[in-house]
Structure 1
Amino acid sequence: MSYLLPHLHSGWAVDQAILAEEERLVIIRFGHDWDETCMQMDEVLAAVAETIKNFAVIYLVDITEINWALKDKQEFIDIVETVYRGARKGRGLVIAPKDYSTKYRY
């Protein structure tokens, strides 16, 4: 059923999908189209997509296409701290402490 839902193929595309929606909730299923559990989830998502289209949009992301690992503990701590501080201030969007757009070449 994954063929019925739009896919995002890069980190940049995920970011743009989130930023483009000001009113609707963005639902993203991260996983593999071939995974049995994801297939079950995709069936549910495809079945409700039309019903919730006024207040939510659904995307699928194949994690093998945009997956990269953090190799530095401090870098991870910095990201978590930035998100935590932003959330405490009621922000829905925070700026990463480091620019990942060119380093990992999504």
Structure 2
Amino acid sequence: MSYLLRTLKKKEEVDTLIRDTIDKVLVLRFGTSTDSVSLLLDDVLSKSERDVSKFASIALVDVDSEDVQVYVKYFDITFIPSTVFFFNAHHMKMDSGSADHTKWVGAFHCKQDFIDVVEEIYRGAMKGKLIVNCPLPPERIPKFQLLYKDV
């Protein structure tokens, strides 16, 4: 399904999209087209794209691309897929009960879960917030263990 969504392979493409997406949530999925969970997430994202198009834009970032490694390192993308949100070039964070508020790790259970999260981020951003609370119940939030390097 990823062929329906724009895939970014260059740092400049990511920079431009972050800078030029105004008054909409920018959803960047970091993953690969060969990972099964990334493909599951891509399916949810592509099915949701029309529903969120008034207040969000979605793009895929290929973590295998050498040119985007600066973003992979900056957002500490150790688990794929990971989804990062922006609004007017500001990184939007979400408290979903994990220690990491910078990104969503894993796939969304369904299209409506993704839409609810993006709507919450949009509403928070419109009020000037840089962090919002996850609107999903804990059982629908993927669980993962944070691995700290050099600890």
Instruction: Provide the TM-score with structure 1 as the length reference.
Output: 0.63
Q: In the alignment, which residue of structure 1 is the partner of 2:16?
A: 16
Question: Which string of whole-angstrom CA distances, capped at 9 and with x for unpartnered residues, describes residues 48-103 of structure 1?
Answer: 00110010000001111122587xxxxx8xxxxxxxxxxxxxx937xxxxxxxxxx
- The residue that corresponds to 1:45 in the other structure is 45
List gaps (5 residues or longer) in structure 2. Answer: 75-88, 92-151
1:25-65 deviation per Cα after TM superposition (whole angstroms, max 9, x unaligned):
10000010110000000000000001100100000011111
Query: What is the match of residue 69 of structure 2?
Result: 67
Q: What letter matches 2:54 in structure 1?
A: N
5 Å matches for 1:1-106?
Answer: 1-65=1-65, 66-67=68-69, 92=90
Tell me: higher relative CO, structure 1 or 2? Use CA pairs within 8 A at least 6 residues apart: 1
Larger displacement relative to structure 2 (7-16 or 60-69): 60-69
- Structure 1 unaligned residues grouped into runs of 5+: 71-75, 77-90, 94-106
May I ask how many residue pairs the two structures share in their alignment?
74
Detail structure 1 runs of 4+ shifted over 6 Å in the superposition: none
The 1-side partners of 2:17 and 2:46 are apart by: 18
Richer in strand (by share)? 2
CA RMSD of the aligned region, Å? 2.2
SS at match of 2:58: strand
Aligned to 1:64, the other structure's residue is in SS state coil
